[in-house]
Amino acid sequence: MRPLPSVTVAFCPQPPLLLPAVAGAPAPALTVLRAAADAAVQALLAQQPEVVVVVGNGADGLRLGPGDGGDLRGFGVPVEVGFAGPARSGGRRVPLPHLLAAWLLDRAGHTGPRLGLGPADLAAALTGAPGPVGVVAMGDGSARRTEKAPGALDPGAGPFDASVAAALAGGDPAALAALDPAAGERLLAAGVPVWRSVGSALAGRAFSAEVGYDDAPFGVGYLVATWRER
């Protein structure tokens, strides 16, 4: 049996505001968040993965790659993003988390192979990888952190996001895999399916971890972290 490849993970949030074209006027909170996401992706690429796997919601059953793409017209800007190189006519539409990851990878200068998947397909993709893999895991924390958040304030939102941050800071796959999906749904924490899939796929492995960002500037929990396998 072929040994499992080494894995590095960059955990990044998925707000459309990451893109300056969507955000509009510069905002200090977004500048800090963007810099943290950039640093996580750059740290992942520094490990020279043979393939970068982007895992995010909306792509279960798909294998996104060259020719696939999408746009951000739904957010009021005519920005088109190819997932792995230019989008082609007839290519598959790429979900927002994967578009944002592609933008981050392009911004970091990545030109190597990319594969976009949903949470349900991550474990199989890692098992079949021929060499070192970089995983860009896209997901937000609770959208119920403050009164002005997209969802109504929930007193459980802060503690829930804190438990995710602790799992990320500890490099703890088991803690991610054990996140409560029902709580995630109630708290509008879109990242839970992705985080659970990463935790399950990497069960039993040991990681050095670093959290680069943990805040909720717009009432939504945004977390940025990097895991490097020991």
Q: Look up residue 20 and give its two tokens.
A: 């300056």
Please, which residues have CB within 8 angstroms of residue 92's CB and are 6 or more apart in sequence? 62, 64, 67, 68
**Mean pLDDT value across residues 127-146:** 94
Of 30-39, 65-74, 162-171, 213-222, where does mean pLDDT reach its minimum? Answer: 65-74
Of 64-73, 135-144, 156-165, 177-186, where does mean pLDDT reach its minimum? Answer: 64-73
For the stretch 4-22, pLDDT in tens is 789 999 999 999 999 998 8
Question: How would residue 209 be classed by pLDDT, with cut points 50, 70 and 90?
Answer: very high
Tell me if 121 sits within 8 A of 64, measured CB to CB. no
pLDDT surpasses 90 at 206: yes
Distance between CA atoms of residues 62 and 51, nearest Å: 17
Question: How would residue 171 be classed by pLDDT, with cut points 50, 70 and 90?
Answer: very high
Which pLDDT does position 3 carry in this prediction? 63
Tell me if 23 sits within 8 A of 31, measured CB to CB. no
- What pTM was computed for the model? 0.96
**Mean pLDDT value across residues 205-216:** 97
In the chain the first and final C-alpha atoms are separated, in Å, by 21
pLDDT surpasses 80 at 71: yes
Tell me if 192 sits within 8 A of 181, measured CB to CB. yes
**Mean pLDDT value across residues 203-211:** 96
pLDDT surpasses 50 at 1: no
pLDDT surpasses 60 at 64: yes
Of the candidates 196, 162, 167, which has an alpha carbon nearest to the alpha carbon of residue 179? 196
pLDDT surpasses 60 at 142: yes
All structural domains of the chain, each given as residue ranges with its CATH number in brackets, are 7-222 (3.40.830.10)
